[in-house]
Amino acid sequence: MKHYEHTAPPAAAGSASRLGLPLFPRPLSLPFARLPEMLHGRAVVAVLNRLFAAALREGELDFMQGRSLRIAVEDMQLGFCLTLSQDRLTALQVTVPDLSISGNLHAFMLMAARRADPDTLFFQRLLRMEGDTELGLALKNFLAAQDMEQHWLTRQMEILLQQALPLYERWF
- The ranges assigned to domains in the chain are 23-166
pLDDT digits (tens, 9 = 90+) for 42-75: 999 999 999 899 999 999 999 999 999 999 999 9
Rounded to the nearest 10°, the torsion over CA 25, 18, 114, 29 is -20
Q: Give the lowest-confidence range in 8-12, 96-100, 163-167.
A: 8-12
**pLDDT value of residue 74:** 96
**pLDDT value of residue 22:** 87
pLDDT digits (tens, 9 = 90+) for 144-159: 888 767 777 777 877 8
Which residues neighbour 42 within 8 Å (Cβ) at sequence distance 6 or greater? 91
CA distance 38 to 55: 24
Domain 23-166 -> CATH class: alpha beta
Query: Would strands 99-103 and 69-73 be described as parallel, antiparallel, or unpaired?
Result: parallel
Neighbours of 39 (CB within 10 A): 12
CA distance 47 to 42: 9
- Residue 123 clears pLDDT 70, i.e. is over it: yes
**pLDDT value of residue 2:** 40
